[in-house]
Amino acid sequence: MKNLEEVISNRPMFRVRMQGAPPPKGWFVRYVSGMDSPEIKTGFWLTKFFVDSQGYINFDFEPEADLHWDNEEAANNVSKALRESGEIETKVVKVEF
């Protein structure tokens, strides 16, 4: 786990699925290994991913998939960034719920 910092935030995050929205489908990123955190388990899905103004990658994995990309290349780029920057192994999966 290279250069990985756990960020504890005092600010909550909220989400709600819109009524009538179709289930997500497309390319997802699934956690394989590389994090020494008991909360993150193999098979969890990447649910948050953004690069902040200081160049840090901010991300999280959770049991349910909701963050997805419309094309495989974009998902592969995210997977590659996690591997190269944090030695976090993931796999890109196409899902059609």
**Does residue 12 fall inside a structural domain?**
no
**Does residue 44 fall inside a structural domain?**
yes
**Does residue 31 fall inside a structural domain?**
yes
Give the residue from 36, 27, 30, 78 showing the smallest Cα distance to 57: 78
Distances (CA, A) of 12 to 8, 9, 40, 66: 10, 7, 19, 18
Predicted local confidence at residue 66, as pLDDT? 85
**Does residue 20 fall inside a structural domain?**
no
Predicted local confidence at residue 26, as pLDDT? 95
**Does residue 51 fall inside a structural domain?**
yes
Read off the pLDDT of each residue in 57-80 and give the average, rounded to a whole number.
95
pTM of the full predicted structure?
A: 0.84
Domain of residue 88 covers 25-96
Helices (H), ranges, the chain: 72-86
Domain count, the chain: 1
**Does residue 7 fall inside a structural domain?**
no
Give 6-63 pLDDT, tens digit per residue: 777 777 777 777 888 877 889 999 999 999 899 999 999 999 999 999 999 999 999 9
